[in-house]
Structure 1
């Protein structure tokens, strides 16, 4: 089984650019979709871990839907802090896995890996949280099965060293209890997140938690605690997770763009 992970697409209404007119997020997402479709072998599915659009409007979700339509494999969506639950579930109503009301949390069954989606959105805020209701739901879902599992969510449950993101926009309430829940379930192979616009991996709560670059712009890697929050145009990428019986998940970073090659060694 091969799983692709993309994040932070930040789609605007058609014809508009993000980040004060500097980023054509739609063009970047179109390239990402073409890149995933061209992979051999193709991924079996794609996880899209939030900040799907830039302001949570129906027009943005309609544009996102059109951009994702060419994907040759199913995509599973979760909200980030730039998203809004009701417009997302309305525009993507044919995505039957999305709950009709409440938090956008769900499981995906029937694959070699079980997928469990968590909703960390706090409407109107940049930080995330996992309240008692969301964590009770997770605890119950994980108790149902010992199958190898991926959790995916928008806000990472760990500090990255990028101070502004950790201090002002991180996962606040619920991170400690989430760690305790995850530690009780050694079948959790990965916790996959977005939000940070960078490729980061860390050993966390007895498993591995990871983020992925944005399909468009990336946060500047500056580990100075006083550094301001800035962005640049390092290459976008998708993470690929290949399930290998007897080994588990093997992770790769697949850069999106034309960088020359392949050439024989």
Structure 2
């Protein structure tokens, strides 16, 4: 069994600042990291799938580094549209997988029963994302090199349509070419994304594509064509992807203090920790 924790859209800001004038992200992220650190069954790896900080400053990345320090397992970072590639690489210089000499920060995580491909989809200075020919070529090379290895692709910008108009305007550019490539590689078990601040699943390009909840705030759900982009303070959450017996199963965990667990048999409260 391999347990992969995916956290996303942390939007860390230095003390005293509120994201969008509303959200104090620092204590929310700290609580989520503490929650993750208390799990009875610790993950083998943590993936942070973009929008690690709000403004891409050195100070924010220094704070993020301190906040992630309690995690005992390997942590792999990837950028989102709020991130600054060079500042991320500078502060996390010990994360040598970020130091590859190419225009994007895509990389491969190996050494586990399932291969993990981190596909950098950001366009510096833009909120939207892109899989251009260079990144598509890189991804194809990784898939051709391991055709029999179960593969999980992480990227920040989702390539699939959600049915929510204001979200779909942020759909990743190049999604058609990406879909064509993925459809030729049945070893891809999942494409797991960030950016949308909401848990969404759909069949896509012969596999399953999904997006993650945020650790700080969630996107408002509104299907009307003229709905504005909006967020709600629904509970922070993250996911555990469990790979076992050639099957990938994902579990959503809500961050907070909740009563229980209780036994179904007699309603008595159990004294064991969740998970």
TM over 0.5: yes
TM-score, scaled to structure 1: 0.96
1:192-203, aligned counterparts within 5 Å?
192-203=192-203
Q: Which residue of 2 aligns with 1:263?
A: 262
Q: Which residue of 2 aligns with 1:128?
A: 129
Q: Which residue of 2 aligns with 1:210?
A: 210
Tell me if the contact between 2:14 and 2:26 (Cα under 8 Å) persists in the aligned partners. Answer: no
Q: Which residue of 2 aligns with 1:9?
A: 10
Tell me if the contact between 1:9 and 1:216 (Cα under 8 Å) persists in the aligned partners. Answer: yes
Q: 1:159 aligns with which of 154, 158, 161?
A: 161
CA distance in structure 1 between the aligned counterparts of 2:202 and 2:193, rounded to whole angstroms: 12
SS, match of residue 98 in structure 1:
helix
CA distance in structure 1 between the aligned counterparts of 2:163 and 2:99, rounded to whole angstroms: 34
Q: Which residue of 2 aligns with 1:176?
A: 176
SS, match of residue 96 in structure 2:
coil
Shift of residue 14, structure 1, vs aligned partner: 3.2
CA distance in structure 2 between the aligned counterparts of 1:264 and 1:225, rounded to whole angstroms: 45
How many residues were matched structurally? 261
CA distance in structure 2 between the aligned counterparts of 1:203 and 1:39, rounded to whole angstroms: 30
CA distance in structure 1 between the aligned counterparts of 2:236 and 2:203, rounded to whole angstroms: 24
CA distance in structure 2 between the aligned counterparts of 1:10 and 1:140, rounded to whole angstroms: 32
Structure 1's consecutive aligned runs of 4 or more residues displaced over 3 angstroms after TM superposition are: none
1:1-265, aligned counterparts within 5 Å?
1-20=2-21, 22-101=22-101, 102-145=103-146, 146-167=148-169, 169-172=170-173, 174-246=174-246, 248-265=247-264
Task: Please list the CA deviations of residues 102-130 of structure 1 after superposition, one character each: whole Å capped at 9, or x if unmatched.
Answer: 21000011101111000111111110001
CA distance in structure 2 between the aligned counterparts of 1:156 and 1:85, rounded to whole angstroms: 19
SS, match of residue 225 in structure 1:
coil
Task: Please list the CA deviations of residues 120-167 of structure 1 after superposition, one character each: whole Å capped at 9, or x if unmatched.
Answer: 111111100011111101101111002111100000000112211211
Q: Which residue of 1 aligns with 2:269?
A: none
Tell me if the contact between 1:99 and 1:105 (Cα under 8 Å) persists in the aligned partners. Answer: no
TM-score, scaled to structure 2: 0.92
Shift of residue 100, structure 1, vs aligned partner: 4.0
Q: Compare 114-123 and 98-107 and name the one that shifted more.
A: 98-107
Task: Please list the CA deviations of residues 37-65 of structure 1 after superposition, one character each: whole Å capped at 9, or x if unmatched.
Answer: 11121111111110111111111111111
RMSD: 1.1
